[in-house]
Structure 1
Amino acid sequence: MAAGAPRIFVSHLAGVAVFDPNGDQVGRVRDLVVMLRVGRRPPRLLGLVVELSTRRRIFLPMTRVTSIESGQVITTGVLNVRRFEQRPTERLVFGELLDRRVKLVETDEEVTVLDLSVQQLPARRDWEIDKVFVRKGGRGGAFRRAKGESLTVEWSAVTGFSLEEQGQGAENLLATFEQLRPADLANVLHHLSPKRRAEVAAALDDDRLADVLEELPEDDQIEILGKLKQERAADVLEAMDPDDAADLLGELPPDEQERLLNLMQPSDAADMRRLMAYEEHTAGGLMTTEPIILRPDATVADALARIRHPDLSPALAAQVYVCRPPDETPTGKYLGTVHFQRLLRDPPYTLVSSMVDEALEALEPDATLPVVAGFFATYDMVAAPVVDDSGSLLGAVTVDDVLDHMLPDDWRETEFHLEDDSGKGVGADGS
């Protein structure tokens, strides 16, 4: 759903068919999963509960939803078919929020929730509940008629949904730190007790937990991963950057590595095995296997569309790599790199193959860390291609991974001083 598109009332999504990009139906929407926030901030829509033809109910993250229109939901085609399990911080819209008695803030009058509307935030992938459709008078029910005036109000105009601001359960702690960057949330987790750390980690969604794990010290990573169910641990590893996931897997006992790899999607497991074959402090061990790869006949417009993807780090979005098919690592012949600034200087219809930086040499997979660091310093790069002897692109090393391995082992132990909106410091316990 494009930014700025009209809001959707959730009652219209009940039972709606879910399709993959090829037009094949994969299931139907049975509920929506939201995360409540402290105070009167609108809840964030995390995803959909989809019932497959086998009657199994799975979770479809909103990041995997490309369109909601004309009574249908279109996905990216990538589905995790493990059974949906509700987490402590999650609420089901149909199951828990509709037909609920709440109060209007202005008049303190009790009303019944009949419907909620969701809308995608401008220029972002995030979705929120923004409006509440309520009926005054007796309990009417989400799908029943009742006497009394009905009206649509802002989420902030009602009370009775949101989390209480006191309390230190994982749910409240998670809501309090929701706006933190992954590195800052990782710092908070590091200073929590092991019990509380496990509670918060269990409540985070897979993508958020993956981002946070990448920023944690090795011991914390292993501890948290070891307390997750194995199926979920595999999901979180799949959501991590391949190089970070491979580093974490490499610290586990061989039998544990194999169990988790067997639970992962075959393509992700293959990437992990390939990365784990390289020495840790080499270009092959540092690289990610998912840089932006384009064929020679791609245009500047194609390249800019790929760079805009919100999941890309700034380092990976700084350049694209032009290769002959196949265009997944390891690719066909690597032709060269095109820098982001060059893309901005040429017309949208220009072929990327006409502007590659042929003078920039690629790294070999066995290049040592000092060689890689020297390459970045010499050429002022934030990412660099890694190419094997046959001329195939294997991946790309980013500057953040180089720094991670060059800084002292305990650099993550630094206590960052966070400030809230009032200018007061925020401690690791949320106080």
Structure 2
Amino acid sequence: MGAGVGWGAGVSYAAVVRIFVARLAGTAVFDPVGDQIGRVRDVVVALRPNDPPRVHGLVVEVQPRRRVFLPITRVTSIEADAVIFTGSINLRRFEKHATETLALGELLDLTVELDGQRVTVLDLAMEQGRTAEWLVTKVAVLRGGTGRGLRRRRGETVVVDWAEVTGFGVVQRDQGAASLLAAFEETRPADLANVLRHLPGKRQAEVASALEDERLADVLEELPERDQIGILGRLDAERAADVLAAMDPDDAADLLQDLPTAEAEALLARMEPREAAPVRRLLTYAENTAGGMMTSRPVVLPPHATVAEALAEIRRKDVTPAVAAQVYVARPPVDTPTGRYLGVAHFQRLLREPPSSLVGGAIDATVDPIRPDLPLPEVTSFLATYNLVAAPVVDELGRLVGAVTVDDVLDHLLPSDWRERDERPAGPEVPDPDSPGYDPSGAGPTSDGGPDGGEG
């Protein structure tokens, strides 16, 4: 089993197996036959008064977005890019016991004491002892750093023994979240949202406070309504308005529809008028119609724009694949509601055209726009009939007011609680083909998690 990449120098692979837990965040988890079954989201430990914390196991997220418990006793290998386990994994939803703590979610960014000085926890290292028991033995701390959140200034990073640090059992009112967010820096917004909603309310507020407005907006768009409302309610009104402005207008409108009218109007009033205007327009449409589902920010260009300009627009990082699938062509102004709508140019057609040619010459005349009041079933049928991933929405004046994308449609077709599907009954366990009684039909051996805790 290889040692993880650590903070301190001189860690020998032969001398010690030391894994820094923050490095495990997002690591792929493989079953005994080499199939990936999920990714690590946290490490479950048990704090003890006079001894190093005992590692119980890993919180693993399996599809579809279900968090389950993997006992550390079943982990056979931990590498830089893979965790491999043996036996079976119980697919019941993970529930943390009262005596357990999440190393990433709850211990990172704590303020503790080292030699009488207040320091911040950056990471924890776990090692396997002679009895095969895994313990948290080292703590990476920041000494002398100043500031909060992602703007924290650098100080001196040191790695010390667990026994040298005190204060882990103290509940802190403002913990910060820089190290936690660093561990999930490369995580997609949907996956970070799933991490966030499983944290205690206190930690949710601290993480939301540390996130930049754009990142928090992306995460909020992936959360269930009740979590969106809960997190938004913990922000001050000015920050909440800024985050709403950073969200896609259709997602912001959906969220505001779930708030009391007075509260929604107060937030809209705090937004810049140009940012609030598209949200207000979307709020005028019924929810399960093309107007209620559409994004008001599709890629729109005038007919005299070049193909090169069009391709540059759909290459932007903030444009989702569904929105980037086609460019809408309209007379100026090109902000929705636009001037007269002319047609749509699919990105595949644009790739076949000379870069200097005009997008007006690449319009697909066979795609008709739809009206804002078209109901959800008919929008779905329209996309399916013409094999489209998006459809232009045009008002009675012939202006483009938005575009309905396939992800918008799926969001409205799925059950309202689909983002909370990890709380539904689980399927069978992932079996070990080498274990006694292995059944190739998929039943496999069962387990209650054993004495390792966290079996959920």
With the shorter chain as reference, the TM-score category is 0.5 to 0.7
2:349 is matched with which residue?
A: 342
Find 1:299's aligned residue among 306, 311, 316: 306
* Cα separation, 2, equivalents of 1:186 and 1:376: 29
2:392 is matched with which residue?
A: 385
Shift, 1:38, TM fit: 5.9
SS at 1:347 equivalent: coil
Matches within 5 A, 1:311-326: 311-326=318-333
Matches within 5 A, 1:19-418: 88-91=148-151, 96-97=153-154, 102=156, 159=157, 170-415=177-422
Q: Please tell me whether the aligned partners of residues 202 and 228 of structure 1 are also in contact (alpha carbons under 8 angstroms).
A: yes
Amino acid at match of 1:182: P
* Cα separation, 2, equivalents of 1:366 and 1:87: 50
* Cα separation, 1, equivalents of 2:288 and 2:401: 16
Provide, for residues 167-207 of structure 1, a one-character-per-residue CA deviation record: whole Å limited to 9, x for no partner. Answer: 78633322222221111111112222222222211211111
The runs of 5 or more residues in structure 1 that have no matched partner are: 1-36, 40-85, 103-158, 418-428
1:156 is matched with which residue?
A: none
SS at 1:178 equivalent: coil
The runs of 5 or more residues in structure 2 that have no matched partner are: 1-20, 24-145, 169-174, 427-453
SS at 2:422 equivalent: coil
Amino acid at match of 1:170: A
* Cα separation, 2, equivalents of 1:87 and 1:210: 23
Q: Please tell me whether the aligned partners of residues 87 and 203 of structure 1 are also in contact (alpha carbons under 8 angstroms).
A: no
Q: Which TM-score applies when normalising by structure 1?
A: 0.60
Q: Please tell me whether the aligned partners of residues 300 and 328 of structure 2 are also in contact (alpha carbons under 8 angstroms).
A: yes
* Cα separation, 2, equivalents of 1:172 and 1:221: 23
SS at 2:402 equivalent: strand
SS at 1:396 equivalent: strand
Q: CA distance change for structure 1 residues 294 and 87 in 2, over 3 Å: closer, same or farther?
A: farther
Q: Please tell me whether the aligned partners of residues 148 and 176 of structure 2 are also in contact (alpha carbons under 8 angstroms).
A: no
Q: Please tell me whether the aligned partners of residues 318 and 340 of structure 1 are also in contact (alpha carbons under 8 angstroms).
A: yes
1:116 is matched with which residue?
A: none
Shift, 1:215, TM fit: 0.5
SS at 1:341 equivalent: helix
Provide, for residues 55-93 of structure 1, a one-character-per-residue CA deviation record: whole Å limited to 9, x for no partner. Answer: xxxxxxxxxxxxxxxxxxxxxxxxxxxxxxx9832235x
2:116 is matched with which residue?
A: none
Shift, 1:237, TM fit: 0.4
Provide, for residues 113-165 of structure 1, a one-character-per-residue CA deviation record: whole Å limited to 9, x for no partner. Answer: xxxxxxxxxxxxxxxxxxxxxxxxxxxxxxxxxxxxxxxxxxxxxx559xx9x
* Cα separation, 2, equivalents of 1:275 and 1:91: 35
Q: Please tell me whether the aligned partners of residues 287 and 395 of structure 1 are also in contact (alpha carbons under 8 angstroms).
A: yes
* Cα separation, 2, equivalents of 1:87 and 1:405: 42
Amino acid at match of 2:259: L
Shift, 1:354, TM fit: 1.1
* Cα separation, 1, equivalents of 2:391 and 2:413: 17
Superposed CA RMSD: 2.7
- Equivalenced residue count is 273
Q: Which TM-score applies when normalising by structure 2?
A: 0.56
Q: CA distance change for structure 1 residues 169 and 332 in 2, over 3 Å: closer, same or farther?
A: closer
